[in-house]
A = this chain, B = another copy of it.
Amino acid sequence: MGNPPNNVNSPAQEQLYLGIDGGGTKCRARIISASGRMLGTGVGGPANPLHGVQQTLISIQTATERALVDAGLPVTSCNQLIAGIGLAGVNLPSLFDVINQWKHPFQQMHLTTDLHIACLGAHKGAEGAVIVAGTGSCGYSYVDGKATVLGAHGFPFGDIGSGAWMGLEAIKAVLLASDDLGPRTLLSELIGEHLQAKGVMIVDKMAGAKSSDYAQLAIFVLDAADRDDAVALAIVKQGADYLSAVAERLWETKPARMSLLGGLAQRLIPWMSPAMVERLSAPLNQPEFGAVYFAQQSNDALETA
């Protein structure tokens, strides 16, 4: 839990905080001073330890160094940062432990999930709840210091209502239709055109596809649903119903605020329960800010202890 402090308490210098938001495609870093000045930002490569622990640690370091450079600080001042790090994948205890045992280069490192920092960001450091609908999907609430996670199970067995799930359901429907064993759907045309393939050739195109590849097909499902395609409507409604059910469960934990986040949030809102949508609040800040709030709160807790 942190290296010994290193000339950080010199009166001339404010404590610096680092916020890291690491996910499957990239890692964002943000450096903020104790008084709240935004000093620098940086981006690194993929940082989901489920897909590679070493890559994750490299991406965190790259993003941090770029943020330090952006802030006009020497890269060696890494050891003056109190880091809050939110990562996908560390809801799995085995991965949390691996990352938490890292001989990190920071003054302190405080590790939590990407969901926790997204939630702290959305509510400006306060407790609350979030529903995420992007490449993946999940629900999260943090109330009275207790985290509740719904979903976040990942592709291909979880993440109903997410982009990857919608894309997978769409491919299943298109393949069934191509065999005349499922209803005809506009998706055959839209996805066939996008992939430049039909029937069994779609299998060829999607062999070995990752969740992010499937997620790119979600837009066609939403478009076809807007055009009243029955198959697409069934997929979108199942997804939206699941996310509405997640919201209902999250409200049981009595959060002060709840926000819907992620790339599909806006497109899904029309399909969700209006009573549920009515109660949602706008997200106030990005996850990297949430990571900084987490670093500050964790440090405050250490100092109080």
On A, residues with C-beta under 8 Å from B are 50, 91-94, 149-154, 156-158, 168, 171-172, 175, 179-181, 200-201, 203-204, 206-207, 242, 245-246, 249
Contact = CB atoms under 8 A, between A and B. Distances in A.
A277 to B, nearest CB: 19
B171 A150 contact: no
A93 B175 CA distance: 17
Identical copies of this chain, number:
2
A150 B181 contact: yes
Given A156-B168, A157-B175, 5 more contacts: A92-B203, A93-B201, A152-B200, A157-B172, A158-B203
Nearest to A203: B153
6 contacts: A92-B200, A151-B181, A154-B203, A156-B168, A157-B168, A158-B203
Contacts of A168: 156-157
Contacts of A157: 168, 171-172, 175, 203, 206
B91 A179 contact: no
Nearest to A139: B179
Contacts of A154: 203, 207
Contact of A153 (B91, B156, B175): B175
A140 to B, nearest CB: 12
A175 B138 CA distance: 12
A150 B157 CA distance: 24
B50 A180 contact: no
Contacts of A158: 172, 175, 203
A92 B204 contact: yes
Contacts of A201: 92-93
